Amino acid sequence: MFVDQVKVYVKGGDGGNGAVSFRREKYVPLGGPAGGDGGQGGDVVFVVDEGLRTLVDFRYQRHFKAPRGEHGRNKSQHGAGAEDMIVRVPPGTTVIDDDTKEVIADLVEQGQRAVIAKGGRGGRGNIRFANSSNPAPHISENGEPGQERYIVMELKLIADVGLVGYPSVGKSTLLSSVTAAKPKIAAYHFTTLTPNLGVVDLGEQSFVMADLPGLIEGAHEGVGLGHQFLRHVERTRLIVHVIDMAAVDGRDPYEDYLQINRELTMYNLKLEDRPQIVVANKMELPGAEENLRIFKEKAPGVKVYEISAATRQGVQELMYAIGDTLATIPDKPAVEEVAEVEERVVFRAEKEPEAFEITRDNEVFVVSGEKIEKLVRMTNLNSYDAAQRFARQMRSMGVDDALRKLGAKDGDTVRIGKLEFDFVE
């Protein structure tokens, strides 16, 4: 089964919780805090594996969650960091954030790695909170939650040559005549539903050729096989445009040529500059010679290779011409632009990280904001000292004053993330 697009869920491991502990050695007066920090959560890392060719494995496993870090221990022992979760993907995989539509990674080379969901940092143990005014704190932090997101994975085949054209122009026949590939060939449109790859061996030179599903008008908007076809064209170094010069289906070969090029350009403007070889196929059929003469009159600057894929007439000369053209093109597939890691974050607050907003949900005051919600998740609310520290931080951020201005009174319910508590004026 050829699968070239899937949606999956990834989550980095949560950080381990910090510990609350104290030294109790016999000869150490006033022992002091000794709770260690939690360990770092594991990252979800995608790695390119040339042995994979499709995304079919991701049809059956759609959730990837990295392990969490170990919790801190007594005697100032920090918890161990978790191992990263390694997920192997085929070359040519583009990873896109499903919410922001941002390209997270474009993985094309063997062994290439990308962190897709970063693990959370470990929470601090009580040894980190000791100071002159509180030498024996009962405060520790919970581990930071790992980043989580839904992603869309798209596979764009990495081939040297892509065969494009309307359905039933002879692309599959051409591929089968020059490679060992066995694509399905039949006398109806859209016989090819998934890309087929084959290796053309010219002795001292060889290249990979892909027979891609047929295009029709409106393909750039998803009509027909639309995007399932077009995404694979983006990786090819050379486009071989196959035209049914015998006009078996009654279409004008020149209009076919213009329409296919329009669809390529409207899908991705960069394809307009991709090197292209035009092939007039089915030259053994009646009317092909006359149609070719008219085509050359309408497109005088276009070099056309005349072939018959069925009888192999002119096919070998075409393969050598493709090989010569590839020798002049850099052997590097086109890659999507990916933001630098420092510029890319999983969660983007619309306001500054310090900011928050308060809304009403019936009688409940709902406080939301990146920093305040993270603070709740990392506070150990089972500890009185930690809860008091959280209350002080809320006051310093201005949350208490904002609630009072909105009319909050003693006993009103306030919700921050999953935490609900009564407001005390």
List the CATH number of the domain containing 389. Answer: 3.30.300.350
List the CATH number of the domain containing 324. Answer: 3.40.50.300
Whether 217 is in a domain gets the answer yes
**193 touches 172 (CB < 8 A):** no
Whether 249 is in a domain gets the answer yes
The total of structural domains in the chain comes to 3
Whether 352 is in a domain gets the answer no
> 3-state DSSP helix/strand/coil percent for the chain, to nearest 5?
25, 25, 50
Query: Within this chain, do residues 76 and 189 fall inside the same structural domain, yes or no?
Result: no
Calpha distance 265→270 (Å, rounded): 7
Predicted confidence at residue 337, as pLDDT, reads 59
Predicted confidence at residue 399, as pLDDT, reads 87
Predicted confidence at residue 124, as pLDDT, reads 92
As given in the structure block, the two tokens for residue 141 are: 């932090």
Query: Within this chain, do residues 105 and 198 fall inside the same structural domain, yes or no?
Result: no
Q: Which residues are annotated as a binding site?
A: 165-172, 190-194, 211-214, 281-284, 308-310
As given in the structure block, the two tokens for residue 182 are: 């066995």
| Residues of the domain holding 231 | 161-328
Predicted confidence at residue 249, as pLDDT, reads 81
Whether 37 is in a domain gets the answer yes
Among 92, 127, 155, residue at a domain's last position: 155
**213 touches 229 (CB < 8 A):** yes
Whether 342 is in a domain gets the answer no
Predicted confidence at residue 339, as pLDDT, reads 55
Whether 338 is in a domain gets the answer no
Among 105, 136, 155, residue at a domain's last position: 155
Query: Within this chain, do residues 361 and 382 fall inside the same structural domain, yes or no?
Result: yes
Closest by CA to 182, choosing from 172, 195, 171, is 172
List of residues 6+ apart from 352 with CB closer than 8 A: none
Whether 177 is in a domain gets the answer yes
Query: Within this chain, do residues 173 and 54 fall inside the same structural domain, yes or no?
Result: no
Q: Which residues are annotated as a binding site for GTP?
A: 165-172, 190-194, 211-214, 281-284, 308-310
Query: Within this chain, do residues 229 and 147 fall inside the same structural domain, yes or no?
Result: no
Q: Which residues are annotated as a binding site for Mg(2+)?
A: 172, 192
Residues of the chain with pLDDT under 70: 1-4, 180-195, 213-232, 332-354, 425
Query: Within this chain, do residues 15 and 138 fall inside the same structural domain, yes or no?
Result: yes
Whether 228 is in a domain gets the answer yes
pTM of the full structure: 0.69
